[in-house]
Amino acid sequence: MQSLSVKAPGRINLIGEHTDYNGGFVMPAAIQMAATVHLEKRTDREIHLFAEDLQESYTFNVETISKSYTEWANYIIGVIAQFQKLVTIPTGFHLRLKSNVPIGAGLSSSAAIECAVAVAINELFAFGIDRMQLTKMAQKAEHEYAGVQCGIMDQFASMFGKKDQVILLDCQSMHYQYYPLVLEDYDIVLIDTQIKHALASSEYNTRRKECELGILQIQKTYASVQSLREITMAMLNECIDQTAMPLVYKRCKYVIEEIERTQAAAIDLQENQLAAFGQKMFATHDGLSALYEVSCAELDFLVKEVKHNPNVIGARMMGGGFGGCTINLIKKEATASVVQKLVASYQNTYQKTLVHYIVSIEDGAGLFPSVSI
């Protein structure tokens, strides 16, 4: 093939936050907003990148791949570098990128780019690398070129998403199961705070370290333990002194509870117990805010505003935190009025205009028939 286009979506996560890098469960799904790349082989060894939305280009040679000061280019270069560890890229290529996944909204705009690029290069040169490995390569690109020690959830959802289904992924075994998402008269609505606090990625890496410190402490008593997935509250209480290590204790407590909550929420979903599912979303938010401390005033405000509204059965901050979106389950007939009220109160409090998205759940990354993007 000389040229092709690939589309890879952003994601939502219904429940199971900050559990992926702790060997826990997550419940993401791919959404309608996506990154699209068009690739065309060149006859020389040059790689020409062009970001349509920014009207910016970036050029380098296949032989001289290195991290760039151009932020968007790093998501692509990072993926190319992963291929180079495994295979020889035989020729250069043009790559045009376009995306409608909002940036900084917690919808994994970067994973969408990484996954689109990974699938596209694999197809263009017929490397035959399987999807699970491509997913891990996309995650590695984020670690090595974007500097965020992310878990596997975002790239997995973008690669393995299925229309109208959520995925229950066990991040320890990487086993996954699709569940049809039957929300009947409820919408999934994302409310975008329009802010992204600067400490988001550094705090993310700090949370990972705090969880690792917890494991190290627990290993003093339970030497074989590898992740928080294997820890019960009783073990935590036995091994970590709340007064000596208050932060580590809180982080671990949240993760242990969230892993259990996500498994229980999967049962709610199977049994169509939406109200119980929604209550767990609120509980997740409380944990993320009070124990894991990755929320912020704006996200807490949006959840508090809807918590006692009978038309909203569940809401919480979504993704890494420190800004981005809340995810809400809202009775369809009330969506417009709930959003309108939120827009007004948010404007009043934060002098910012909220943006909202009604989510549809779509397929994961794949070849895209149109060659012009």
Q: For the chain, percent helix, then strand, then coil, each to nearest 5? A: 45, 25, 30
CA–CA distances in Å: residue 211 to residues 13, 236, 307: 21, 12, 29
Site for ligand GLA in 303-362 (CB under 6 A): 319-320
Phi and psi at residue 230, in whole multiples of 5°?
-90, 5
3-state secondary structure of 100: coil
Of the residues 20, 114, 257, 305, which one makes contact with ligand GLA according to CB under 6 A: 20
Q: Which is nearer to ligand GLA, 207 or 356 (CB)?
A: 207
Q: Please enumerate in sequence order all residues whose Cβ is within 8 A of that of 223, keeping only pairs 6 or more positions apart, or say none.
A: none
DSSP state of 227: S
CB of 220 to ligand GLA, least distance (A): 26
Of the residues 5, 8, 21, 265, which one makes contact with ligand GLA according to CB under 6 A: 21
Q: Which amino acid is at 271?
A: E
How many residues interact with ligand GLA (rule CB under 6 A)?
11
CB of 43 to ligand GLA, least distance (A): 37
Cα Rg for the chain, rounded, in angstroms?
A: 21
Task: Tell me how far apart the alpha carbons of residues 181 and 87 are, in angstroms, rounded to a whole number.
Answer: 39
Nearest alpha-carbon partner for 27 in 331, 327, 355, 365: 327
Q: Is 170 a catalytic residue?
A: no
Q: How many degrees, rounded to 5, is the angle at CA 84 between CA 80 and CA 88? A: 115
Nearest alpha-carbon partner for 83 in 118, 108, 46: 118
Site for ligand GLA in 238-277 (CB under 6 A): none
Token pair 């990487």 in the structure block, residue: 174
Let me know: does 342 contact 305? Beta carbons within 8 Å.
Answer: yes
Considering the rule CB under 6 A, would residue 9 count as an interface residue with ligand GLA?
A: no
Task: Tell me how far apart the alpha carbons of residues 48 and 92 are, in angstroms, rounded to a whole number.
Answer: 8
Pairing of strands 3-13, 28-41: antiparallel
> Which residue in the list 20, 130, 154, 241 is annotated as catalytic?
154
Considering the rule CB under 6 A, would residue 200 count as an interface residue with ligand GLA?
A: no
Task: Tell me how far apart the alpha carbons of residues 362 and 148 are, in angstroms, rounded to a whole number.
Answer: 26
Considering the rule CB under 6 A, would residue 17 count as an interface residue with ligand GLA?
A: yes
Q: Which is nearer to ligand GLA, 62 or 157 (CB)?
A: 157
Q: Which is nearer to ligand GLA, 239 or 256 (CB)?
A: 256
Q: Which is nearer to ligand GLA, 91 or 172 (CB)?
A: 172
CB of 147 to ligand GLA, least distance (A): 12
CB of 17 to ligand GLA, least distance (A): 4
**Among 17-25, 87-95, 172-180, 210-218, which window interacts with ligand GLA (CB under 6 A)?**
17-25
Q: Which is nearer to ligand GLA, 278 or 287 (CB)?
A: 287
Task: Tell me how far apart the alpha carbons of residues 182 and 165 are, in angstroms, rounded to a whole number.
Answer: 9
Site for ligand GLA in 119-158 (CB under 6 A): 150-151, 153-154
Task: Tell me how far apart the alpha carbons of residues 221 and 230 are, in angstroms, rounded to a whole number.
Answer: 13
**Among 18-26, 56-64, 159-167, 332-340, which window interacts with ligand GLA (CB under 6 A)?**
18-26
CB of 319 to ligand GLA, least distance (A): 4
Q: Which is nearer to ligand GLA, 21 or 60 (CB)?
A: 21
**Among 16-24, 158-166, 173-181, 300-308, which window interacts with ligand GLA (CB under 6 A)?**
16-24
List contacts with ligand GLA (CB under 6 A).
Answer: 17-18, 20-21, 108, 150-151, 153-154, 319-320
Which residues have a catalytic role annotated? Answer: 154
